[in-house]
Amino acid sequence: QVQLVESGGGVVQPGGSLRLSCAASGFTFSSYGMHWVRQAPGKALEWVAFIRYDGSNKYYADSVKGRFTISRDNSNNTLYMQMNSLTAEDTALYYCAKDLITSGTDSYMDVWGKGTTVTVSS
């Protein structure tokens, strides 16, 4: 079945870096754009970044622009998020999610992983 499994979360000090991964299975990964969405404890969802199916375009929320980099490896069906210069405000559960539309621009998220937790604390 269609599945997304995130990994790479953990505890990191302010100013530190972390790399998240998302392993995809059950669908043609290379045909769909992918998103990262985060949720701070007790808070609403916040969209973080999107990458087109072929990696040709990437979009970021203003809150992470210049610090986070989304990428993908279509040969290994894996999505990544490199997170640098982390602050306490980045503490959240990070979800990867599949875009609804094949080979399109960013739209909606129809498949979600269970998430991986990032905690930024000294």
Partner 1 sequence: EIVLTQSPATLSLSPGERATLSCRASQSVSNYLAWYQQKPGQAPRLLIYDASNRATGIPARFSGSGSGTDFILTISSLEPEDFAVYYCQQRSNSITFGQGTRLEIK
Residues in touch with partner 1 (CB under 8 A): 35, 37, 44-47, 50, 59, 61-62, 95, 100, 106-110, 112-115
Any idea which residue has 């622009």 for tokens?
65
**Identity of the residue, 17 or 28, whose beta carbon is nearer to partner 1 in the bound complex:** 28
- At closest approach, how far in Å is the CB of 32 from partner 1? 14
**Identity of the residue, 23 or 100, whose beta carbon is nearer to partner 1 in the bound complex:** 100
**Identity of the residue, 59 or 74, whose beta carbon is nearer to partner 1 in the bound complex:** 59
Q: Which two tokens stand for residue 84?
A: 């640098």
Cα 49 from Cα 5, distance rounded (Å): 17
**Identity of the residue, 2 or 11, whose beta carbon is nearer to partner 1 in the bound complex:** 2
- At closest approach, how far in Å is the CB of 109 from partner 1? 6
Q: Give the other-Cβ count within 10 Å of 113's Cβ.
A: 20
Whose CA is closest to 20, among 46, 38, 3? 38
Q: Which two tokens stand for residue 95?
A: 């979800």
Amino acid making up residue 31: S
- At closest approach, how far in Å is the CB of 75 from partner 1? 26
